[in-house]
């Protein structure tokens, strides 16, 4: 049998469990030219919230009744395709289900001798690519500059901060909770990390960035974006990667009240979507695998077991309860 999670309703405000349906289908079979994949990991990402809305975006919304879109990693369990053998590990985007059939076009074969499978959904997957291209192409950090990243302990933020360190920047994270902040400084090598849940963010950030902020990589939006806008420098760059604080609003998104700081500082705010860089993913993966190998790029994964826990696990993203790249382990191996 094939357990699947489908979109059942479009949420208004916070996602509800009833916005998904948990169904069981027959296990599919691979026909000529196809492979059957067993899912090992489902990636849980803040972007999923956007895919639930029926609005114009960078990707079409998931339709009601459709298996819910997700980045996935698994193993080939049957193959009628000359390019894949049983036992091959692959990544793709076949959604929240235990099994899927593919013609192979959207699958990437990955080598679990080079890196653990989970890493291909984390640093070597979409979050890592988002960090790499967003920071380097759009943030354009220069040695000696101060780079601030929110969601600092998360899948994207942790990579942003470490790459900025590799590029010779002073790096300050913003994260929720002392454990996450300590991790950023002690294990990831950030120069400082500010706990937005504890004390006056404006003052703490000012203390951590006494010369102001050159690059801000924003994963959260909301009040934190406004605080940062108040401390940016001349010709600074703000990378708009996400706004997790705003995704479950049932009121309009909070626009950055301090946006005129862009004028005062001749600064730039620019949006990114990782897919635009698809032609360059492999170069980035080679570079990041090298940094991982050298020990300069660490990562943490947070694995929850059981496809039946999909909803509760997704909610961890929006309450800040995950610590590291959040994955759902679907197979029972």
Give the interface with a copy of itself as residue ranges (CB under 8 A). 56-58, 221, 226, 240-243, 246, 252-273, 276
* Nearer to a copy of itself among residue 39 and residue 130 (C-beta): 130
Least distance between a copy of itself and beta carbon 148 (Å): 18
Residue placing its CB nearer to a copy of itself in the complex, 86 or 264: 264
- Nearer to a copy of itself by C-beta: 10 or 233? 233
Contact 151, 326 (CB under 8 A): no
Give least dist CB 262 to a copy of itself, A.
4
User: Is 71 or 242 the residue whose CB approaches a copy of itself more closely?
Assistant: 242
Residues 192-225 as b or e (16 or more Cβ within 10 Å = b): bbbbbeeeebeebbbebbeebbbbbbbbbbbebb
Closest CA to 109 of 131, 92, 124, 128: 92
Spatial CA neighbour of 93 closest among 48, 56, 134: 48
User: At what angle are helices 126-133 and 157-166 packed, to 10 degrees?
Assistant: 40
Minimum distance from residue 92 beta carbon to a copy of itself (Å): 24
The three-state DSSP-derived secondary structure of 291-331 is: HHHHCCCCCCEEEEECHHHHHHHHHHHHHCCCCCEEEEECC
Shorter beta-carbon distance to a copy of itself: residue 36 or 272:
272
Q: What are phi and psi of 185, to 5 degrees?
A: -80, -50
Residue nearer to a copy of itself on the CB measure, 9 or 253: 253
- How many whole angstroms separate alpha carbon 52 and alpha carbon 106? 22
Token pair listed for 3: 């357990």
Q: Contact at 8 Å (CB) between 177 and 107?
A: no
Contact between 269 and 262 under an 8 Å Cβ cutoff? The reply is yes
Q: How many whole angstroms separate alpha carbon 38 and alpha carbon 89? A: 10
Nearest distance from C-beta of residue 149 to a copy of itself, angstroms: 16
Q: Please, what is the minimum distance in Å from the beta carbon of residue 216 to a copy of itself?
A: 13
Nearer to a copy of itself, 116 or 212 (CB): 212
In the complex, least distance from residue 127 CB atom to a copy of itself, rounded to whole angstroms: 16
Least Å from the CB of residue 89 to a copy of itself? 32
From the list 221, 173, 229, 174, the residue with the least C-alpha distance to 196 is 174
């Amino acid at each position: 049998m094939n357990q699947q999670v489908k979109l059942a309703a479009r949420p208004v405000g916070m996602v509800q469990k009833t916005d998904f349906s948990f169904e069981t289908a027959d296990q599919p079979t691979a026909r000529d030219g196809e492979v059957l994949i067993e899912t090992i990991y489902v990636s849980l990402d803040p972007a999923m919230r956007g895919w639930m809305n029926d609005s114009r975006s960078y990707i079409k919304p998931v339709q009601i009744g459709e298996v819910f879109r997700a980045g996935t990693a698994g193993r080939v369990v049957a193959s009628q395709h000359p390019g894949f053998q049983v036992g091959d590990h692959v990544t793709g985007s076949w959604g929240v289900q235990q099994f899927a059939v593919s013609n192979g076009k959207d699958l990437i074969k990955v080598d679990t001798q080079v890196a653990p499978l989970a890493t291909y959904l984390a640093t070597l997957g979409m979050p890592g690519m988002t960090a790499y291209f967003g920071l380097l192409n759009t943030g354009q950090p220069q040695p000696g500059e101060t780079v601030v990243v929110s969601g600092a302990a998360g899948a994207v933020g942790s990579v942003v901060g470490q790459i900025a360190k590799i590029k010779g920047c002073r790096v300050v994270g913003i994260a929720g909770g002392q454990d996450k902040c300590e991790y950023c400084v002690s294990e990831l090598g950030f120069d400082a990390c500010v706990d937005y849940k504890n004390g006056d963010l404006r003052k703490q950030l000012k203390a951590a960035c006494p010369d102001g902020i050159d690059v801000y990589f924003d994963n959260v939006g909301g009040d934190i974006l406004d605080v940062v806008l108040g401390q940016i420098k001349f010709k600074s760059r703000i990378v708009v990667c996400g706004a997790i604080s705003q995704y479950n609003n049932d009121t309009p998104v909070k626009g950055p009240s301090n946006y005129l700081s862009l004028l005062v500082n001749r600064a730039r705010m620019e949006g990114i979507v990782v897919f635009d860089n698809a032609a360059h993913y492999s170069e980035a993966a080679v570079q990041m695998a090298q940094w991982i190998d050298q020990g300069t790029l660490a990562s943490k994964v947070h694995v929850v077991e059981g496809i039946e826990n999909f909803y509760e696990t997704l909610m961890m993203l929006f309450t800040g309860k995950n610590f590291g790249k959040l994955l759902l382990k679907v197979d029972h191996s």
